[in-house]
C-alpha cells in the first residue's frame, strides 16, 4: 500500500531523515519507534505533504504520492492524526467529527461511520455538544482519532497518541487502536516513543534513531532482539 524508498529530508541543511525506506502492506499494523528527535514526526509530515523531501520516493497504492498536493492526499484515503491532537478547540465534539468527514468517502459513509466512532469511544457520545477545548487530554486524543476515522481512510497514521497522557489512558487508547485494526481491518501506521506499547500492537516495526532506520522486522523478531530489549524495553 505505502512504499518509501531512500527518503532524505533536511531542515536548514541539517538532515532530519537519511535514506529511510519502509513498507506498509494493506491490512498491516506498522509501528515506527524511537527516541524523541529521531525523525518520526518528520516522516509523517513528509507523507502528508507538509514537508518536502530532498530526495527519495513515496508511493501509495502504486501512485507517486510526492506528485499529489498535500491538500489532496486525504482524498486518496490517508488520514493523519497529528502529534499533540490539534482538535478544533472552539468547536463541539460533533463539529470536529464532521470536519473529519470532509472527504468524498467520509461524506458518503458518514451515516455508518458516526455510530462506529461513538461505539468505539462512548465518551464522545456523552460529550457530543461539548466544546473540544474543554475535554481532558485523553478525551481530546480519542476525538482526534475519531476525526481521522471519520474521513473513511484506508491508511490511518497516528503520531504519538500517548503524548502527555497518563499510563491508564494510554492503555485504553492503544486497546481501542488495536480493536479498530483487528475488527475493522484498517491499515495503521503508528509512530510512538512508548516502544513497549507500540511493539506489542504491531505486525511489523521499524526502529528510527537520528533519522535512520537502524532495525526492522516482524513483531516477534523485534521484541526478542536483545538490543531492542535492552535499549527500549528495559529488559
Q: What is the pLDDT of residues 10-68, one digit of tens each?
A: 988 789 999 999 999 999 999 999 888 889 999 999 999 999 999 999 999 999 999 99
What's the pLDDT score for residue 228? 81
**Chain centre to alpha carbon of residue 56:** 21
Structure confidence by residue, pLDDT tens digits, 163-199: 989 999 999 999 999 999 999 999 999 998 888 888 8
Instruction: Determine, yes or no, domain membership for 99.
Output: no
Helix (H) or strand (E) holding 181: helix 167-184
Contact between residue 16 and residue 10 where contact means Cβ atoms under 8 Å apart: yes
What's the pLDDT score for residue 233? 65
Helix (H) or strand (E) holding 213: strand 212-218
| Number of domains composing the chain | 1
What's the pLDDT score for residue 96? 97
What are phi and psi for residue 51, nearest 5 degrees? -120, 135
What's the pLDDT score for residue 235? 47
SS3 2: strand
Of 220 and 234, the one with more pLDDT: 220
Instruction: Determine, yes or no, domain membership for 81.
Output: no
How many CB atoms neighbour CB 108 within 10 A? 12
Structure confidence by residue, pLDDT tens digits, 109-147: 999 999 999 999 999 999 999 999 999 999 999 999 999
Measured distance CA(122)–CA(185) in Å, rounded: 21
Instruction: Determine, yes or no, domain membership for 131.
Output: no
Average pLDDT score, the chain: 93
Structure confidence by residue, pLDDT tens digits, 85-96: 899 999 999 999
CATH number at 14 reads 3.40.50.300
Instruction: Determine, yes or no, domain membership for 211.
Output: yes
Instruction: Determine, yes or no, domain membership for 121.
Output: no
What's the pLDDT score for residue 138? 95
SS3 161: coil
Burial of 19 (0-12, 13-18, 19+ CB in 10 A): middle
Query: How many helices and strands (H and E) does the chain possess?
Result: 9, 10
The domain containing residue 53 runs over which residues? 1-27+34-76+194-235
What's the pLDDT score for residue 234? 60
Instruction: Determine, yes or no, domain membership for 227.
Output: yes
What's the pLDDT score for residue 127? 96
Instruction: Determine, yes or no, domain membership for 163.
Output: no
Measured distance CA(36)–CA(160) in Å, rounded: 10
Instruction: Determine, yes or no, domain membership for 172.
Output: no
Amino acid at each position: 500500500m505505502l512504499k518509501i524508498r531512500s527518503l532524505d529530508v533536511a531542515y536548514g541543511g541539517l538532515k532530519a531523515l537519511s535514506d529511510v525506506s519502509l513498507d506498509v502492506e494493506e491490512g498491516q499494523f506498522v509501528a515506527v519507534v524511537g527516541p524523541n528527535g529521531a525523525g518520526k514526526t518528520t516522516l509523517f509530515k513528509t507523507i502528508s505533504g507538509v514537508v518536502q523531501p530532498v530526495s527519495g520516493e513515496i508511493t501509495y497504492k502504486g501512485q507517486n504520492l510526492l506528485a499529489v498536493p498535500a491538500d489532496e492526499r486525504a482524498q486518496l484515503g490517508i488520514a493523519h492524526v497529528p502529534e499533540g491532537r490539534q482538535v478544533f478547540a472552539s468547536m463541539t465534539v460533533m463539529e470536529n467529527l464532521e470536519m473529519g468527514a470532509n472527504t468524498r468517502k467520509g461524506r458518503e459513509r458518514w451515516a455508518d461511520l458516526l455510530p462506529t466512532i461513538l461505539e468505539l469511544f462512548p465518551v464522545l457520545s456523552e460529550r457530543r455538544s461539548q466544546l473540544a477545548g474543554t475535554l481532558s487530554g485523553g478525551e481530546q486524543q480519542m476525538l482526534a482519532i475519531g476525526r481521522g476515522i471519520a474521513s473513511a481512510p484506508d491508511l490511518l497514521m497516528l503520531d504519538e497518541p500517548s503524548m502527555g497522557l497518563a499510563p491508564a489512558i494510554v492503555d485504553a487508547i492503544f486497546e481501542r487502536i488495536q480493536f479498530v485494526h483487528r475488527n475493522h481491518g484498517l491499515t495503521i501506521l503508528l509512530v510512538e516513543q512508548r516502544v513497549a506499547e507500540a511493539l506489542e500492537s504491531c505486525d511489523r516495526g521499524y526502529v528510527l534513531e537520528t533519522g535512520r532506520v537502524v532495525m526492522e522486522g516482524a513483531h516477534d523478531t523485534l521484541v526478542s532482539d536483545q538490543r531492542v530489549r535492552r535499549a527500549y524495553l528495559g529488559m
